[in-house]
Amino acid sequence: MQVETTSLQDCLLIKDRIFKDDRGYFFESFNQKTFKELTGVDINFVQDNQSRSQYGVLRGLHFQTGSHAQAKLVRVLEGKVLDVAVDIRKESPTYGKSFSVELSDTSGTQLFIPRGFAHGFVVLSETATFFYKCDNYYNKASESGIAYNDPKLEIDWSVDAADIILSEKDQNNPTLQQLENSL
């Protein structure tokens, strides 16, 4: 495992060490001891989530508030997505900034998103299976979101607006500025 910093404070790219031979490949997708040694983050993941979506499906930008905030380690099992993290920690020097990365089943890359970030992704391939570990349990009363097309975030989702498919909930997310008083 190799760790790279991103343009957002505390948000990290994790490059997996992949062993390939004529049978296929093998890699260790997570090792708590190695993760802590390389990142300095002592984390206990308690919930795994997986979704499958078609081209153009955009899930996000989501986060949980208060004591139910979640850190996530995300990866793609099949297909390709554009994955986006937005720093919503008011005290952070990267507050209101976003980071995007293409993740795929062949990239060997994961993204660690700490607590205090909004997160979303859009499917760039015909379909994609997305997997993520969370360090806190889902709590419906604490879920929130930010509009994926918030003009101040300037996120290029790499998909034509006419092809984006949103849930009803995500169609009604406020901008970060509209949320600022509740963060």
Q: What are the catalytic residues? A: 62, 132
Phi first, then psi, for residue 179 (nearest 5°) are -90, -15
Cα-Cα-Cα-Cα torsion 13, 145, 171, 53, nearest 10 degrees, comes to: 40
Q: Which residues 6+ apart lie within 8 Å of 153 measured at CB? A: 86, 96, 98, 146, 176
| Beta strand pairing call for 127-134 and 24-26 | unpaired
Q: How far apart (Å, rounded) are the C-alpha atoms in residues 99 and 85?
A: 5
Nearest residue to 41 (alpha-carbon basis) of 83, 73, 76: 73
Q: Residue 36 corresponds to which amino acid?
A: K
**DSSP for residue 93:** T
In the chain, count of helices (H) and strands (E)?
A: 3, 13
